[in-house]
Amino acid sequence: MSNDPAKVRLMALHAMRWSGLALVIFGLMALYGRIALPREIASALVIVGLIDALIMPTVFARRWKSPPP
């Protein structure tokens, strides 16, 4: 694997999106009673997962954007 910063950042963004999706699925399973968790925790997992999957990659992409030459 190369040490290209762009490739590392892209992999980090994809990992963040997939982990957010996993949190949403886990939270929805708990909300529908497939996993024994309180509804408050399940709702929090869904909300945090949505933020993690949809908003945070955009925030990090803006912070990591290269300055103009």
pLDDT of residue 18: 96
Q: Given this model, what pLDDT does residue 2 score?
A: 65
Q: What is the pTM of this model?
A: 0.83
Residue 64: its pLDDT value, please? 82
| Average pLDDT, integer, range 4-21 | 91
pLDDT band (50, 70, 90) for residue 68: low
Q: How confident is the model at residue 69 (pLDDT cuts 50, 70, 90)?
A: low
**53-59 CB contacts, 8 Å cutoff, 24+ apart:** 53/16, 53/17, 53/19, 53/20, 53/21, 53/23, 53/24, 54/20, 56/16, 56/20, 57/13, 57/16, 57/17
Domain spans, the chain: 20-63
Per-residue pLDDT, 1: 55
